Amino acid sequence: MASGALHRYLRAMSEADPIAAPRMRKPDWIRVKAPVSAGYAETRKLMRRLNLATVCEEAACPNIGECWTKKHATVMILGDTCTRACAFCNVKTGMPRAVDPLEPEHVAVAAAELGLTHIVVTSVDRDDLPDGGASQFVKVIEALRRSTPSTTIEILTPDFRNKAEAAVERIIAARPDVYNHNLETVPRLYPTIRPGARYYASLRLLESVKRHDPSIFTKSGIMVGLGEQRLEVHQVMDDMRSADVDFLTMGQYLQPTPRHAAVEEFVTPQAFSAYAAIARAKGFLLVAASPLTRSSYHAGDDFERMRAAREAKLASVRTA
Ligand code: SF4
* Confidence category of residue 6, pLDDT binned at 50, 70, 90: very low
Q: How far is the CA of 65 from the centre of ligand 1 (A)?
A: 9
Q: What is the pLDDT of residue 4?
A: 42
Q: Is 86 in the pocket of ligand 1 (CB under 6 A)?
A: no
Buried b (16+ CB within 10 A) or exposed e, 73-110: bbbbbbbbbbbbebbbbbbeeeebeeeeeebbbbbbbb
Question: Residue 13: pLDDT above 50?
Answer: no
Q: What is the pLDDT of residue 319?
A: 84
Contact 185, 225 (CB under 8 A): no
Q: Which atom of ligand 1 is nearest to the CA of 295?
A: 2
pLDDT digits (tens, 9 = 90+) for 252-275: 999 999 999 999 999 999 999 999
Question: Residue 11: pLDDT above 50?
Answer: no
Residue nearest to atom 5 of ligand 1 (CA): 64
Contact 143, 108 (CB under 8 A): yes
The three-state (H, E, C) secondary structure of 278-309, written as one string: HHHHCCCCEEEECCCCCCCCCHHHHHHHHHHH
Task: Map residue 59 onto helix, strand or coil.
Answer: coil
Q: What is the mean pLDDT of residues 115-139?
A: 97
pLDDT digits (tens, 9 = 90+) for 50-67: 999 999 999 989 999 999
Question: Residue 166: pLDDT above 60?
Answer: yes
Percent of the chain with pLDDT over 70: 93
Q: What is the mean pLDDT of residues 215-242?
A: 98
Q: What is the mean pLDDT of residues 202-226?
A: 97
Residue 139 CA, distance from chain mean position: 20
Cβ atoms within 10 Å, residue 301: 13
Beta bridge partners of 184: 222
* Confidence category of residue 19, pLDDT binned at 50, 70, 90: very low
Q: What is the pLDDT of residue 185?
A: 98
**Sign of the dihedral defined by the CA atoms of residues 12, 16, 21, 23, in that order:** negative
Longest dimension (CA), the chain: 83
Q: Is 254 in the pocket of ligand 1 (CB under 6 A)?
A: no
Q: What is the pLDDT of residue 99?
A: 96
Predicted TM-score (pTM) of this structure: 0.91
Q: What is the pLDDT of residue 7?
A: 41
Q: What is the pLDDT of residue 126?
A: 96
More confident residue, 4 or 53: 53
Q: Is 74 in the pocket of ligand 1 (CB under 6 A)?
A: yes
- The terminus-to-terminus CA distance of the chain in angstroms comes to 79
Residue nearest to atom 2 of ligand 1 (CA): 296
Rounded Cα distance, 8 and 275, in Å = 47
Nearest-10 crossing angle of helices 230-242, 269-281: 30
Rounded Cα distance, 26 and 267, in Å = 11
Q: What is the pLDDT of residue 24?
A: 77
Contact 69, 39 (CB under 8 A): yes
* Confidence category of residue 22, pLDDT binned at 50, 70, 90: low
Q: What is the mean pLDDT of residues 237-253?
A: 98
Which segment of 191-200, 276-285, 291-300, 311-320 scores lowest on mean pLDDT? Answer: 311-320
Q: Which atom of ligand 1 is nearest to the CA of 54?
A: 8
Q: What is the pLDDT of residue 36?
A: 82
Q: How far is the CA of 12 from the centre of ligand 1 (A)?
A: 35
Q: What is the mean pLDDT of residues 72-101?
A: 94
What is the layout of strands, in order, in the sheet containing 75-77? Answer: 53-54, 75-77, 118-123, 152-156, 178-180, 217-224, 247-252, 286-289
Mutate to test the pocket of ligand 1, among 64, 122, 290 (most ligand atoms within 8 A of CB): 64
More confident residue, 248 or 10: 248
Task: Map residue 153 onto helix, strand or coil.
Answer: strand
Q: Is 72 in the pocket of ligand 1 (CB under 6 A)?
A: yes
Q: How far is the CA of 55 from the centre of ligand 1 (A)?
A: 7
Mutate to test the pocket of ligand 1, among 290, 297, 298 (most ligand atoms within 8 A of CB): 297
Q: Which atom of ligand 1 is nearest to the CA of 55?
A: 3
Q: What is the pLDDT of residue 12?
A: 37
Closest of 186, 273, 263 to residue 222, by C-alpha: 186
Rounded Cα distance, 181 and 159, in Å = 7
Q: How far is the CA of 241 from the centre of ligand 1 (A)?
A: 25
- The whole-chain average pLDDT of the chain stands at 92
